[in-house]
């Protein structure tokens, strides 16, 4: 049987380990660490989703480049001893502006589809999705431009020296500002959809568990 403690006596407080010590209390992995774990995991998922979005949109630029190459108007010329003669009459300067117009329409269409597709992914809605849309559509525009330019190369010096040969004008982008149309269209669709949503969480679904 233990002896009663004298009046006014209390048990000493347990020693407190200095910060960073291996014996610090509460131990690592406590409630605070467990509470932060879902947030960190969700951030990693958002980053992976953003990277996949940028990659897919850049690949979509290949399709846009092919469409631009097929639809953009170009002029044909016949090589003569005196130079080159247009086939079918004089060539208007508006022809080259039409190349930019077709490129703008193709990128705008891709941007609209991209904005709707990214918005439909409810679990990944947020600032990261908007950033991925912007970067991805800018990459898609550059890829489409370079692919169309490579496929629509103009005649070489040897072609222009071949009398009687038929050559076609090169395909290129005259106004680089057209590259901004894709990101603008994609973000516009996303922002309009977010504006029409009354939920503060953008109706973002939380992962199960």
pTM assigned to the model = 0.69
pLDDT, residue 208, reads: 47
> What number of other Cβ atoms are within 10 A of residue 143's Cβ?
19
The answer to whether 123 and 205 are in contact (CB under 8 A) is yes
User: Cα(138)–Cα(179) distance, rounded to whole angstroms?
Assistant: 7
- Alpha-carbon separation of residue 137 from 54, 177, 178 (angstroms): 8, 13, 12
Q: What is the pLDDT of residues 51-103, one digit of tens each?
A: 889 999 999 999 999 999 999 887 666 766 666 656 665 666 666 678 899 99
Peptide bond into 21 cis (omega under 30): no
Q: What is the pLDDT of residues 134-147, one digit of tens each?
A: 999 999 999 999 99
> What number of other Cβ atoms are within 10 A of residue 32's Cβ?
10
Q: Residue range 94-114: average pLDDT?
A: 89
């Amino acid at each position: 049987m233990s002896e009663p403690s004298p009046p006014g006596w209390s048990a000493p407080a347990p020693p407190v380990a200095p910060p960073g010590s291996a014996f610090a209390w509460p131990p690592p992995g406590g409630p605070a660490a467990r509470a932060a774990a879902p947030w960190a995991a969700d951030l990693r998922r958002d980053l992976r989703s953003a990277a996949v979005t940028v990659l897919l949109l850049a690949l979509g630029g290949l399709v846009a480049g092919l469409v631009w190459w097929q639809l953009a108007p170009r002029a044909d010329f016949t090589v003569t001893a005196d130079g080159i003669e247009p086939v079918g009459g004089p060539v208007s300067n508006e022809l080259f502006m039409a190349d930019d117009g077709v490129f703008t329409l193709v990128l705008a269409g891709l941007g609209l589809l991209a904005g709707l597709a990214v918005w439909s992914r409810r679990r990944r809605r947020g600032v990261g999705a908007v950033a991925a849309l912007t970067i991805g559509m800018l990459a898609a525009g550059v890829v489409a431009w370079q692919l169309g330019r490579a496929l629509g190369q103009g005649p070489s010096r040897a072609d222009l020296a071949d009398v009687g040969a038929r050559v076609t004008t090169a395909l290129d982008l005259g106004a680089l500002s057209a590259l901004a149309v894709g990101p603008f269209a994609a973000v516009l669709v996303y922002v309009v959809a977010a504006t029409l949503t009354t939920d503060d969480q953008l109706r973002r679904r939380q992962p199960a568990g």
